Every structure is written in structure tokens, then in C-alpha cells.
Chain A
Amino acid sequence: MTEQSPQPITKKKTGKSVYLDYQATTPTDPRVVEAMMPYFTEKFGNPHSRNHPYGWEAEEAVEKARGQIAHIIGADSKEIVFTSGATESNNLALKGVANFYKDRKNHIITVVTEHKCVLDTCRHLEQEGFEVTYLPVQANGLIDLKQLEEAMTDKTLLVSVMGVNNEIGVIQPLKEIGALCRERKIFFHTDCAQAVGKIPLDVNEMNIDLMSISGHKLYGPMGIGALYVRRRPRVRLQAMINGGGQERGMRSGTLPTPLCVGLGEACEISEKEMAAETERLKMLSDRMYGRIMEALPEVFLNGDKEHRIPGNLNLSFAYVEGEGLMMGINDLSVSSGSACTSASLEPSYVLRALGLEDELAHTSLRLGFGRFSTEEEVDYAAERIIQEVQRLRDMSPLWEMAQEGIDIKSIEWAEH
């Protein structure tokens, strides 16, 4: 009989949980909050009030913000439509364009790893009679440009491919996709919620026609986003929200001045600091990755190693289940691609799309670093993760079998 020690959990530090979920949301930069403040209680006017100084000063602030947002993506401020967030922007882009042009073309191409709001909107459009092609991705998470080209027909109206994936951080070849689309006069929409402020973007160089932007992903406030809509050549769309005709008729509703100001300020700050921040995040990410890979065998990075933002590491720890791991590191705020942590018991569809077998999808952790992450936090997190993975592997029958040289795939498991 082989004995084993009781495997108690190690002591955790006191104090607030270490935040490593920057893809879920980011703290609002204090500089952004400061820029927003006057527009709550002093300069509180409705930016559409044309007749008095309260309205004028609010309008001025909104237009300045519009310019800041346009600048970070190489657009003109007339091409920026404010929305409540990237979900609304994605809905507006897809439904708006589809419904406007449906008499001429009715085919849309997107990718299986898109955010739920894009996929769900496409499914909705399918029910309305549109044809949608969902392109697969390669094992590294990137689309195959040849497959995209082959999917294009003379009925193809729109291609929608996200700039950066929220789960695995990979960067799609936007410039190449844009070129293909422009050649065939197909509109190119890209959900850049995770890309704006993280990678350089230029709507003209990349031939982008529509782009979704999210405030709370780049240290701006929650509740605000934008949709870039190209004017030359003109992209028309059918509005989803009817009303006073704001935003050139594309999105009615009083603009929330402080939130617009916040998004604008966040964009300007990110544009200025992008290069330096990218370098710093790369250092943190390499540090975390290096520590973990050095200490633990059988750990896999999900998504292409090169074409990725440095602020994301999605790792699978073989033989250890994700939710179990997260419980053990509950002084770290992270997320997992494990089924147990989603409301359904299905593992992450993004990891599945990479071809990951269920057991590796169940073992994944998504680590997200950002502007306020420190080396100390990274070191602490790496240490805790390493400790917990080792503890759980000691408790895992699958790890035991692997150590004994048993091929787990050869066992006939009884599904329950």
C-alpha cells in the first residue's frame, strides 16, 4: 500500500485578490475618471441642446472625444457613432448592414471563434433568411485566408472577423482580410473590442469598413462603445434604435457626455502609451510564462505564440481540472475555459474550435495582464498557480496514470 501526505492547501496572502482578468474588463484609468468628472455635475448639459451654453459645452466635449476615438484608428470623426458598447456596435454593424443591403446580397462570412454577440446575431440573421458561413480556425486560432477566399461568392455582403480574440489573445490578419474584401467589394467588419489601444490599427491601411470599439476594455468606463462606419466608399446601415435621429440617424438617443469623454480620453491615453505598454506587458507575460513552464511539465499555450497580444496567456494544465484549480487559487481573479465555470457544462467553444480535446479545454486558465499589473503580482500569481497545479496533480488519477506510462486515450471511459 502506498501512502501519501494529506495535500493541504498552502496559506494565501491577506488583502485583496490579485486581478488577472484584464480581458473581462479593465479598471477605469484615474486620468479618464478625472476627465469625466466635470460632465456629471458642472458641465452637465445635453449635448444636443442647441440653444444654450450648457448644451454647447457638452457638445464640444463629445466632439472632442469623437476626434480622439477616430484618431487611434486612423478614421475621420464623422465616421464614429457612439453606442452603449461593443455588443451594441456588433449588432448594429451586422443587422444594420444586412438589412440595408438585403435585396442585393444576402451572404455573410464570419468565424467560429467570434464573440457570442456576433455569433448570436448571425444566427438571428440566419432565421431572417440570410446565409452565414462560419469559418473554422487552425490549431493556432488564426483563420486560413485561402478558406476565406473560397467562401466568398457574388452574394457575399459582409465579412466579420475580430481583431483580437478575447479568450486566447490571437491577432487575425486584418490587413490581408481587408485587401481580399476590398477587391471583391465586400464590406469588412471587425470587432476590435480587445484590439483598440493594444495593437496599431488603421482603417484605411487595413481596408476596414466597420469597427466595433468597447470602452471598458481599454481603461475607459463601462457602458460606452463606438462603431466606426466608413464614409468613403459609403457604408449605409439601417438603424436599430429609432428616435431623434442622433449620430447621423444611425443611433438615436441622448449621448452620455461623461461616458463619451471617458472613451475619448481612454483612446488618447492608449494611443500615446501603446508602444511602451506593449513592451512592459510582454515582459510580464514572458516572466509569468517562463516561471510556469520551468516549474511544471505538460502545460500548453492555447493560440499562436507570435500573433498575439502580450496581455493574454491562455494555458492548459494537463491532468488538472480548471474550476478545481481556480478554487485553489481563489486569491487570484482569473477565468477558465472549463465547463464547470460556464453555466452550461460545455467547455469553451473557442478552445474546442482550436481542436483542443475536451480534457485540455477543461484544464485551461485565462490570465489577463494590463496597465496596472505589477511584477510582484505576476511573481505571486505564478507561485500560487505552480503550487496548486502540483497539489492537484498529486490528487489526480489521470496524472498518476500518465506517470505510470498508461495512455489515457486508450482507456474506455464510461460516460455518465
Chain B
Amino acid sequence: MSYSKELIDHYENPRNVGTMDKNSEDVGTGLVGAPACGDVMKLQIKVNAEGIIEDAKFKTFGCGSAIASSSLVTEWVKGKTVDEASTIKNTQIAEELALPPVKIHCSVLAEDAIKAAISDYKVKRGK
């Protein structure tokens, strides 16, 4: 499989690997995928009082494309408002990393992960 430089970079030097306290009020956690499929992503966002995502962390069980997609997404959401972040589309991720067709589903999962994290945050805030 020939991967793009961007993809390899995210795989070899992943950004924002880590864990936040999922019980914290300002943290939203999204856990998507399934071990049986070979892809599981955990994405967490920390949202400040102004509704801006000030930090994001991820952990992924999956192939190089899955790891790169989730790493990229944590980079993109930082500094965005929660609503802006929910407009990130998998096609943008796939384009940025030049994902081969058979790996597009990794970008779809990354989009699902952000949406799941945002949804969890909103549920916590009672919205």
C-alpha cells in the first residue's frame, strides 16, 4: 500500500495521543467502531466556557489510515467551536491524507468519532 507523506507523518508522529478525564464536565468522549472490524477510535474534546474546543486527545486501534485520520482530526478541531467542528466531513480528511479507496471508511469513522464526542458533551451540558 503506498501511503501519502501526510498519512505517514501522522502515523509516525501522531498528534495528541492521550486520555482526558471522561467524567469531567467540560470533556466530551466519542468511542466508535468495533474490535471485530479492526477499527476502534476514542476521541475526546475539552470545551471551554465560550464553547471553543481548547484541547483534543485520541486513542485508536486500527491500521495506519485509521490512526492518521484520528490524529488529523484532533489537530483540526482545536480552536474551533463545537458547531464548527461538527461540520468536518470525512471527504476532507480523506483528501488531506490522500486515502486509497479501500481506506475511506477510516475517515468516515473519524467523522463519526468527532460527532460522538460532541454529542456526548452536549448531553452532559443538558442541551
Interface residues of B in 39-91 (CB under 8 A from A): 39-42, 46, 55, 57, 59-64, 66-67
Against B, the Cβ 8 Å flags (1 = close, 0 = not) of A381-401 are 000000000000011111110
> Are B38's CB and A397's CB within 8 A?
no
Q: From DSSP, what is the main secondary structure of chain B's interface residues?
A: mixed
**B12 and A9 form a contact (CB under 8 A):** yes
CB-contact partner of B63 in A3, A6, A324, A414, under 8 A:
A324
A321 touches B24 (CB 8 A): no
> How would residues 26 to 37 of chain B score, 1 for a CB under 8 Å from any chain A CB and 0 otherwise?
000001111111
Give the chain A neighbours of B24 by CB distance below 8 A. 1
Q: Give Cα distance in the complex from A339 to B31, angstroms.
A: 21
Known: A2-B18, A320-B61. A398 touches B67 (CB 8 A): no
Chain A residues within an 8 Å CB radius of B31:
397
Instruction: Determine if A376 is an interface residue (Cβ-Cβ < 8 Å).
Output: no
A358→B13 CA distance, assembly (Å): 28
Contacting pair A321 B63 (CB below 8 A): yes
Across the interface, do B67 and A416 meet the contact criterion of CB distance under 8 Å?
A: no
Indicate if the CB atoms of B14 and A362 lie closer than 8 Å: no
Number of interface residues of A (CB under 8 A): 39
- Asked if B21 CB lies within 8 Å of chain A CBs, one says yes
Interface contact B18-A3, CB-CB below 8 Å: yes
B109: Cβ under 8 A from any A Cβ: yes
Please name the residue on chain B nearest to A413 by beta carbon: B34
Of the candidates A6, A8, A362, A408, the one whose C-beta lies within 8 Å of that of B38 is A362
Cβ contacts under 8 Å, B13 to chain A: 6, 8-9
Q: How far is the CA of A145 from the CA of B62 in the complex (A)?
A: 38
CB distance from B114 to the nearest CB of A (A): 14
User: A269-316: which have CB < 8 Å to B?
Assistant: none
Of the four ranges (under 10, 10 to 19, 20 to 34, 35 or more), the interface on chain B belongs to 35 or more
Q: Which residues of B contact A1 (CB under 8 A)?
A: 20-21, 24, 46, 55
**Contact residue among A320, A328, A415 (Cβ-Cβ distance under 8 Å from B36):** A415
Most B CB contacts (10 A, CB to CB) among A322, A394, A395 go to A395
Contact with B along A338-380 (1 / 0, CB 8 A): 1110010101000000000111001000000000000000000
What's the least CB distance linking A388 to chain B, in Å? 11
Which residues of chain A have a CB within 8 Å of any CB of chain B?
1-9, 319-324, 327-328, 338-340, 343, 345, 347, 357-359, 362, 394-400, 408, 413-416
Supply 19 A–B pairs (Cβ within 8 Å), ascending by A.
A1-B55, A2-B21, A6-B13, A6-B14, A9-B12, A322-B38, A322-B63, A357-B36, A358-B37, A359-B38, A395-B67, A398-B40, A400-B59, A408-B35, A413-B35, A414-B33, A416-B33, A416-B34, A416-B112
Nearest 5 CB-CB pairings of A with B: A413-B34, A359-B35, A4-B18, A397-B42, A323-B63
Contacts A321-B63, A362-B35 supplied; 15 other A-B pairs, CB < 8 Å: A1-B21, A2-B19, A4-B18, A4-B57, A323-B63, A327-B3, A327-B11, A338-B38, A340-B38, A358-B35, A359-B35, A395-B59, A413-B33, A414-B34, A416-B105
